[in-house]
Amino acid sequence: MSRTVLRVTDLVKHFPMRKGPLRRTVGVLKAVDGVSLELRAGETLGVVGESGCGKSTLARMLTAHERPTSGEVDLLGRPLHKLRGAELRRARRRVQLIFQDPSGSLNPRMTVAASVREPFDVNPDLAPRGERDRRVRELLELVGLGPGHAGRYPHQLSGGQRQRVGIARALALRPEVLVCDEPVSALDVSVQAQIVNLLERLRAELGLAYVFIAHDLGVVSHLADRVAVMYLGRVVETGPQERVYGHAAHPYTQALHAAAPLPDPALRGDREAPLEGEPPSPLDPPGGCSFHPRCPLARDTCATVPPPQVEVAPGHQVSCHLAG
């Protein structure tokens, strides 16, 4: 079995909500509420869920852009959020974040070459000054951009090209883990496929491990070895990709399957109706199972008792009273 490169244990992030001139705390937003995950070398872990379920907050904690309220993120055997100063800066090279909006991650006043070169200028030990331009050319070629793109500015690029520049910047630091926060959701469908294929090729060539975050189960299915389904700050189902897609055990995962778009509506057949309604507010999550207000199978127990985590097959776990 491959070594574990990233381990998340009981990760929690609560944001105090303040109001009034004295900024008194009037509530707590439970963005991430007890998530445990594991990522192995060379693996892609897909994290799926609706908007507002805590995926992006999780991504920022995995890359030390946000400190957890409690819990641990172990990167290559080291507790990431307990590191400080130079140790933290060195550790953060090993895990890099690819943003949802490539425009927001690039300086509009810097050329493509300058943007990709910047990590070397900030971390001069990565490459001698005389070799940095060569490394920039190699990185651009690696992500499918030619020399003609080096002198362009972000507004002169397409969305897919800007995302390729963002990937090149992340790879400059030679990370072992890439956290991809919905990296294709802002792109056209045809461009999405190109970026997904690029990421898959880079994983094979460079031996990378990915945490690939998305709200679309279909996108994740092309990349993921394992899948974790998040709802209202918690993981409700996790397991091998073929199990979660072929034998979904949680009603929420089943609803996400039913909501996935199909190229031909006639193919929908007997699939259940897509999920209805909006998730409850993380400021006031429901008791018991957080999904019970929207679950068509909910029982009285679901409203009062937190569901146990049940292993329904080897490596396939689900938090549901009806599991098994």
- List of residues 6+ apart from 305 with CB closer than 8 A: 288, 289, 321
Range(s) of the domain holding residue 284: 4-94+175-319
The answer to whether residue 56 sits within a structural domain is yes
Number of domains in the chain: 1
Average pLDDT for runs of 10 along the chain of length 324:
91 92 86 96 95 94 95 95 92 93 85 96 91 96 95 95 95 96 88 93 96 88 93 96 94 87 49 69 90 93 94 95 84
The answer to whether residue 208 sits within a structural domain is yes
The answer to whether residue 315 sits within a structural domain is yes
How far apart CA 100 and CA 166 sit, in angstroms, is 10
The answer to whether residue 170 sits within a structural domain is no
Exposed/middle/buried for residue 8 (C-beta within 10 Å: 0-12, 13-18, 19+): buried
Q: Do the beta carbons of residue 306 and residue 288 sit within 8 Å?
A: yes
**What does DSSP assign to residue 279?**
P
Using alpha carbons, select from 169, 182, 323, 183 the residue that is nearest to residue 254. 323
The answer to whether residue 34 sits within a structural domain is yes
pLDDT at 268: 47
Place of tokens 């006043």: 109
The answer to whether residue 269 sits within a structural domain is yes
- List of residues 6+ apart from 48 with CB closer than 8 A: 213, 214, 215, 216, 217, 220, 227, 228, 229, 230, 256
**291 Ramachandran zone, left/alpha/beta (phi>0; psi -120 to 50):** alpha
pLDDT at 272: 54
pLDDT at 269: 46
CB atoms < 10 A from the CB of 167, how many?
26
The answer to whether residue 20 sits within a structural domain is yes
Report the CATH number at residue 37: 3.40.50.300
The answer to whether residue 161 sits within a structural domain is no
Chain CA centroid to CA 140, Å: 24
